[in-house]
Amino acid sequence: MKKNRLTTILFFLLSLIMLPVLAQKRPDMTTDSNTPLHLIEPEYNVPYGIPEKGSIKNHLDRILAYLEGATPIALVDKDSGKETKYLNAVTRDTRISRGDFRLTSYEWGVTYAAMLTAAEATGDNRYREYVFDRFAFLAKVRPGFKKMMDDYGTTDPQMRSVLSPAALDDAGAMCAAMIKAGIQNSDLQLDPMIQHYMNYVMHYEYRLFDGTFARKRPQMNTVWLDDMFMSIPAIVQMGSYSGENRYYDEAARQVALFADKMFVQEKGLFRHGWVESAEDHPSFFWGRANGWAMLTLVEVLDVLPEHHPQRDSILQLLRKHIAGISALQSGDGFWHQLVNRNDSYYETSATAIFVYCIAHAINKGWISPISYGPVATLGWNAVSTKINAKGQVEGTCVGTGMAFDPAFYYSRPVSPFAAHGYGPVIWAGAEMIQLLENLYPRMNDKAVQFYSTQQLTSSPIFSLGGRNDQIVAGSSRKNDNPVVMLIGDSTVKNGSGKGDNDQWGWGSFFEQFFDTTRITVENHALGGRSSRTFITEGLWDKVLPGIRKGDYLFIQFGHNDGGPLNRGRARASLKGTGDESEIVVMERNGAQEEVHTYGYYLRRYIRQAKNRGAIPVVLSHTPGNSWEGDKMIRNSDTYAKWSKEVAAQEGVLYIDLNSLIADKCEEMGKEKTNGLYKDRVHTSYEGAILFGKTLIEGIKATPELTLNQYIKQ
């Protein structure tokens, strides 16, 4: 009894000693009485929050710089190492110069495809040139190496997989990338290699009796999940390349065959291997193999025709897989080597593939940005920590076979020279840039949230209603003075209108040209909007009530009026100026919407503004930084033409801003014009100022426009 009492006293004294220590360690306690507990800053192991597009581009540029040096394109003598000057002078002793990575591996097929996406996302042609240069090199040296192989039976190992593929690894990813590049640039002359690769995939690769691509190792008739990606994307791309539906049908059939054997419905995951002779198939959910499977589904949906009978089932499979994978993301943003085993290591290539696929599915409108945007963002933030100062990708598992025990997967080494990491990381970064362009992520109560409209308030946001602290239309009015109101897209107002990502719209500086004691300017434009969505998203309904008699309304749309009517951002209008319309079912929610012509929407703005006594002015949209020779490409046959026609029909003024700016840029020349743009469409500070000045010149050249009286002299 005395012993128990003594023990109780000792525990009591110990608790008094330890209480301050415990208070410091508990996350819900603080010694600072002035800091509310819910405002204590969290501690993250990886960066948390919304990355800047410029930061992502810097990461990609660092990888590109490394790879340009690590993958030389030259012929050398195998003994002396001396470079061979002429690409057509291939002998028995000629070899392709060795770098850190092979130019013809399936991993580099992924890298080439990712580079093409990066070029599109960033507007930086260096990524496209990386691909074109190496494919052009392979096309030029191929005949010489083929002759050596025909004559002597041996050739450079890098060329053997091109000339005589012996596995899907040799053919599929390279073929898919070459098709994409060949469609963009027919001068590359890739068709002989494409046809040779596809002939192997379709007719010579080993298959099961039911037609599923298979291998004879490690057991006879083993199906590898990796082979989904090594075969199906090339086949479906061949459908686009050739126009033959049989390739689409075969790609869809293979997806179903693999999914039937490999997809575990209750987990939403793909097993790595399936063995025909096994009663119980080894269910190890290797990260990168699941990445290859998800990437395959994305690649198929990108190309498979909308009307294909298997398209919906493939889309549903992708959604199930994304849901299963997303549930297993670690708190640090990575996925594990075995995705469902948290004690296996973090793996970079799988994480990057998942980031790309999830971001791409959001951008395509296949899955919800609210649910999955933060998943992709956290994943990219994690991946970015694995890009070292040299531009190397760290934490990537080396090439991996199939095993029937976990120790094999747990023990696979990682290396910055594992080629599997580079393409996925480039792809992930490029797609994240697109995601940040298409949507409006914001930090809300310290958490990443995704919104379909721009949120400008710094307070917690509890509604997706959008521009919470948007300027109220007409609120800048001084006494009864008129107001110039601008409506349009990001070329008029980019982001918040304060130089987001160093991009500006001309509307941000338009007021400086006017006597603001007599007139004010309100920029109600919003990036990403079209003539259609500025109305359907309720933005016009917020502008119209503020318009009064004597105000001026400048209308500029066209940049975003192309594209799908009901998929993705679904912002397209019908072409032309007629009264026709089309009922579409919106993919994101199943709702019906009547879509009208570009001209219809312009007439709506014009008529409603005129009915309030305002003076509408229609503008053609600003030109993109695209050229044919020394001439800037204009839109005189499409949106400029239709804008002019509508203005004439409605009896309002029209200023061809597109031509005015293009004329000025052509006088400056391409090199100087490049300084006006941050990408193909959006302008720098200098570009926005110049475009605004050009519009003022257009106004001055229109004497019947009474706005002239308010311009500063």
DSSP characters over 272-334: SEEETT-SS-----BHHHHHHHHHHHHHHHHHS-TT-TTHHHHHHHHHHHHHHHHTT--TTS-
The answer to whether residue 399 is domain-embedded is: yes
Q: Provide the β-strand partners of residue 483.
A: 520
Q: Judge whether residue 463 has pLDDT over 50.
A: no
- Which pLDDT value is given to residue 531? 96
- Which pLDDT value is given to residue 710? 94
Same domain for 443 and 432?
no
Q: Judge whether residue 1 has pLDDT over 50.
A: no
Q: Which amino acid is at 182?
A: G
| Residue 538 φ/ψ region, left for φ over 0, alpha for ψ in the -120 to 50 degree band, beta for the rest | left
Q: How far apart are CA 339 and CA 324, in angstroms?
A: 10
The answer to whether residue 34 is domain-embedded is: no
Q: How far apart are CA 197 and CA 175, in angstroms?
A: 6
CA distances from 171 to 56, 182, 233, 557 (A): 31, 16, 11, 45
| Residues written for the chain | 713
Helix then strand then coil, in percent of the chain rounded to 5, is: 50, 10, 40
Read off the pLDDT of each residue in 344-367 and give the average, rounded to a whole number.
97
Same domain for 211 and 335?
yes
Q: What residues contact residue 408 under an 8 Å CB cut-off, 6+ apart?
A: none
Q: What residues contact residue 358 under an 8 Å CB cut-off, 6+ apart?
A: 322, 326, 367, 372, 375, 376, 379
Q: Judge whether residue 485 has pLDDT over 90.
A: yes
Same domain for 519 and 641?
yes
- Which pLDDT value is given to residue 465? 41
- Which pLDDT value is given to residue 89? 83
- Which pLDDT value is given to residue 588? 83
Residue (of 585, 504, 485) closest to 545 by Cα position: 485
- Which pLDDT value is given to residue 456? 60
pLDDT tens across 430-441, in order? 999 999 999 989
Q: Judge whether residue 23 has pLDDT over 90.
A: no
Same domain for 253 and 328?
yes
Q: Between 348-363 and 369-384, two packed helices, what is the crossing angle to 10 degrees? A: 150
Return phi, psi of residue 257, to 5°. Answer: -65, -45
Instruction: Render the burial of 276-308: b for 16+ CB within 10 Å, e for the rest.
Output: eeeeebbbbbbbbbbbbbbbbbbbbbebbeeeb
Q: Are 519 and 484 in contact (CB under 8 A)?
A: yes
Q: Are 657 and 694 in contact (CB under 8 A)?
A: yes
The answer to whether residue 295 is domain-embedded is: yes
- Which pLDDT value is given to residue 30? 45
pLDDT tens across 372-414, in order? 999 999 999 999 999 999 999 999 999 999 999 999 999 999 9
The answer to whether residue 24 is domain-embedded is: no
Q: Comparing 29-33, 259-263, 331-335, which segment has the lowest mean pLDDT?
A: 29-33
Q: How confident is the model at residue 458 (pLDDT cuts 50, 70, 90)?
A: low
pLDDT tens across 175-233, in order? 999 999 999 999 999 999 999 999 999 999 999 999 999 999 999 999 999 999 999 99
Q: Between 125-152 and 191-203, two packed helices, what is the crossing angle to 10 degrees? A: 70
- Which pLDDT value is given to residue 452? 81
Q: How far apart are CA 148 and CA 75, in angstroms?
A: 14
The DSSP secondary structure of 263-276, one letter per residue, reads EETTTTEE-SEEET
Same domain for 629 and 524?
yes
- Which pLDDT value is given to residue 606? 97
Same domain for 215 and 267?
yes
Q: How confident is the model at residue 39 (pLDDT cuts 50, 70, 90)?
A: low
How many structural domains is the chain composed of? 3
Q: Judge whether residue 504 has pLDDT over 70.
A: yes
- Which pLDDT value is given to residue 444? 86
Read off the pLDDT of each residue in 234-254 and give the average, rounded to a whole number.
97
Tokens for 23? 């208070």
- Which pLDDT value is given to residue 19? 46
Q: Between 53-70 and 125-152, two packed helices, what is the crossing angle to 10 degrees? A: 30
Q: Are 411 and 383 in contact (CB under 8 A)?
A: no
Q: How confident is the model at residue 237 (pLDDT cuts 50, 70, 90)?
A: very high
The answer to whether residue 221 is domain-embedded is: yes
Count of helices and strands (H, E) across the chain: 22, 20
- Which pLDDT value is given to residue 28? 44
Q: Judge whether residue 118 has pLDDT over 90.
A: yes
Q: What is the DSSP letter of 508?
A: G
Q: How confident is the model at residue 84 (pLDDT cuts 50, 70, 90)?
A: confident
Q: How confident is the model at residue 124 (pLDDT cuts 50, 70, 90)?
A: very high
Same domain for 211 and 266?
yes
CA distances from 517 to 193, 512, 520 (A): 69, 12, 8
Q: Are 561 and 532 in contact (CB under 8 A)?
A: yes
Q: Provide the β-strand partners of residue 504.
A: 683
Q: Judge whether residue 468 has pLDDT over 90.
A: no
Same domain for 443 and 431?
no
Give the whole-number percent of the chain exceeding pLDDT 70.
92
- Which pLDDT value is given to residue 275? 96
- Which pLDDT value is given to residue 459? 56
Q: How far apart are CA 109 and CA 107, in angstroms?
A: 5
Same domain for 401 and 550?
no
Q: Judge whether residue 460 has pLDDT over 80.
A: no
Q: How far apart are CA 183 and CA 54, in angstroms?
A: 29
Where in the sequence is the domain holding 465, given as residue range(s)? 439-469
The answer to whether residue 41 is domain-embedded is: no
Residue (of 661, 327, 269) closest to 491 by Cα position: 661
Read off the pLDDT of each residue in 282-302 and give the average, rounded to a whole number.
96
Q: How far apart are CA 214 and CA 657, in angstroms?
A: 59
Same domain for 450 and 505?
no
Q: Judge whether residue 443 has pLDDT over 70.
A: yes
Same domain for 58 and 74?
yes
Q: Comparing 85-89, 132-136, 350-354, 692-696, which segment has the lowest mean pLDDT?
A: 85-89
The DSSP secondary structure of 603-656, one letter per residue, reads HHHHHHHHHTT-EEEEEPPPPPS-EETTEE---TTTHHHHHHHHHHHHT-EEE-
Q: What is the DSSP letter of 590?
A: -
- Which pLDDT value is given to residue 471? 75
Same domain for 431 and 341?
yes
Query: Is residue 18 helix, strand or coil?
Result: helix
The answer to whether residue 141 is domain-embedded is: yes
Q: How far apart are CA 574 and CA 561, in angstroms?
A: 8
Q: Judge whether residue 592 has pLDDT over 80.
A: yes
Q: Are 525 and 533 in contact (CB under 8 A)?
A: no
Tokens for 629? 């020779």
Give the whole-number percent of the chain exceeding pLDDT 90.
81
- Which pLDDT value is given to residue 24? 45
Residue (of 452, 506, 497) closest to 686 by Cα position: 506
- Which pLDDT value is given to residue 35? 65
Q: What is the mean pLDDT of the chain?
A: 91
Tokens for 605? 């703005």
- Which pLDDT value is given to residue 11? 53
The answer to whether residue 669 is domain-embedded is: yes
- Cis omega (within 30 of 0) for bond into 27: no
- CATH assignment of the domain containing 610: 3.40.50.1110
- Which pLDDT value is given to residue 470? 63
